[in-house]
Amino acid sequence: MNLLFYSAGESGAAWLEAFARELPEARINTWQRGPISQIDYAILWKPPGELLEALGQARAVFNLGAGVDGIKNLAALRSAVPLIRLEDAGMTEQMIEYACHAVLRRYREFDGYAEQQHAGEWRPRRRIGKRAFGIGILGLGVLGSAVATALSRFGFRVYGWSRSPKAIAGIETFAGAGQLDSVLTQARVLICLLPSTAETRELLDRQRLSRLPRGAYVVNLARGELLVDQDLLALIDEGHLAGAMLDVFRDEPLPGAHVFWHHPKVTVTPHVSAATLIDESVAQIAAKIRRLEAGLPVTGVVERERGY
Ligand SMILES: NC(=O)c1ccc[n+]([C@@H]2O[C@H](COP(=O)([O-])OP(=O)(O)OC[C@H]3O[C@@H](n4cnc5c(N)ncnc54)[C@H](OP(=O)(O)O)[C@@H]3O)[C@@H](O)[C@H]2O)c1
């Protein structure tokens, strides 16, 4: 079996080692430029179109991430070749940690207490009940549904939104563009876990963010393009929104001159909410290759027209 590994901007030594361990029967190739020999399975991160074009005979292509928006020229890959994304692979637990931190930080007003400490002010703040503190989750896929369930266990009221209707115990679910408002208007914290697609890009603009209740807090863990930065900043500066915790940005690394870096109400983290873990990802891909080799179906196949 011939495998090809390509990850833009890295040699991938640790990945190659892990694949050699998990799939000892495979021959593992790398790619610099130029023609390639017959490849059965390709494992890619941000591949150039030239490489995708050369993989027209591959049995499957694996994307080294949950979101496939990093593949800018997907049309270059023959449509008969299945594109398979990572599902969970150790990311769910990390997302839950980050999202719970963000919600509890806001709910328990830790930023407010930090300001009070600097001012030497001893003053317990009034706390509202968790059932009155709504959390909105945009995206109820592998990551969003797990985050929603984890937050509901704290006792928060959780409102979730997806494209198709969902039933998740303890979560009030809504689907489709027509029901987005029902989530936004209830969300004191809004967590974004949508894929970046033609439909979701710039979804969080001034009009939609204005539907959040006064004092709401925005947490973007998905992709920077889903949010209109200037609209978020304007609503924070006008006092409608309390602030934001952002892990993803349109341009990464976040440019040094961007207002987010030094805004007192914005917390920036460098795309670390859920790292791609090598061992877990390689084990998942290897298991899927074994299923495909046995003629069995696999999950995580991207629907190209939907974009995720
Ligand atoms: N920051 C990080 O480190 C990091 C790490 C991993 C992933 N991510 C991001 O997180 C995203 C989600 O990952 P996942 O594994 O949970 O993806 P997933 O399982 O494909 O779930 C996507 C969810 O979004 C919903 N959705 C898609 N388009 C929609 C639309 N137009 N309107 C309403 N809902 C829509 C889907 O609805 P249906 O259920 O109806 O299909 C689904 O519930 C990834 O695409 C990636 O961008 C970020």
pLDDT digit string (tens) for 178-209? 999 999 999 999 999 999 999 999 999 999 99
Average pLDDT over residues 218-223: 98
Kindly state the tokens that stand for 149.
């369930």
- The catalytic residue positions are 223, 271
Q: Tokens 């909105």 sit at which residue?
A: 136
Kindly state the tokens that stand for 195.
């894929």
Which of the listed residues 137, 140, 194 should we mutate to test ligand 1's pocket, taking the one with most ligand atoms within 8 A of CB?
194
Give yes or no for a contact between 235 and 210, defined as CB atoms under 8 angstroms apart. Answer: yes
- CB-based contacts of 139-142 (< 8 A; 24+ apart in sequence): 139/192, 139/193, 139/194, 139/195, 139/222, 140/166, 140/168, 140/171, 140/173, 141/193, 141/195, 142/66, 142/87, 142/88, 142/92
pLDDT digit string (tens) for 253-292? 999 999 999 999 999 999 999 999 999 999 999 999 999 9
- For ligand 1, atom 32, name the residue with the nearest CA: 163
Which of the listed residues 163, 190, 200 should we mutate to test ligand 1's pocket, taking the one with most ligand atoms within 8 A of CB?
163
Shortest-distance atom of ligand 1 to CA 165: 40
What was the pLDDT predicted at 303?
97
d(CA 146, CA 144): 5
pLDDT at 92 over 90: yes
Give yes or no for a contact between 217 and 189, defined as CB atoms under 8 angstroms apart. Answer: yes
Q: How many whole angstroms from 66 Cα to the centroid of ligand 1?
A: 8
Kindly state the tokens that stand for 221.
């863990």
d(CA 289, CA 194): 27
pLDDT digit string (tens) for 55-89? 999 999 999 999 999 999 999 999 999 999 999 99
Shortest-distance atom of ligand 1 to CA 67: 45
Q: How many whole angstroms from 165 Cα to the centroid of ligand 1?
A: 14
Which of the listed residues 83, 143, 204, 252 should we mutate to test ligand 1's pocket, taking the one with most ligand atoms within 8 A of CB?
143
pLDDT at 43 over 90: yes
What was the pLDDT predicted at 258?
98
Radius of gyration of the chain (CA): 21
Q: How many whole angstroms from 104 Cα to the centroid of ligand 1?
A: 23
Q: How many other C-beta atoms are found inside a 10 Å radius of the C-beta of residue 161?
A: 29
Q: How many whole angstroms from 63 Cα to the centroid of ligand 1?
A: 15
Instruction: With CA atoms as reference, report the closest residue to 40 among 86, 81, 87.
Output: 81
Angle at 15 between CA 14 and CA 16, to 5 degrees: 90
Residues whose beta carbon lies within 6 Å of some atom of ligand 1: 66-67, 91, 139-144, 161-164, 193-197, 199-200, 221-223, 247-248, 271, 273-274, 308
Instruction: With CA atoms as reference, report the closest residue to 304 among 43, 141, 41, 81.
Output: 81
Q: How many whole angstroms from 140 Cα to the centroid of ligand 1?
A: 7
Angle at 20 between CA 17 and CA 21, to 5 degrees: 90
Kindly state the tokens that stand for 36.
């390639």
DSSP 170-222: TEEEEESGGGHHHHHTT-SEEEE-----TTTTT-B-HHHHTTSPTTEEEEE-S
pLDDT at 216 over 90: yes
Supply the mean pLDDT for the chain. 97
What was the pLDDT predicted at 37?
87
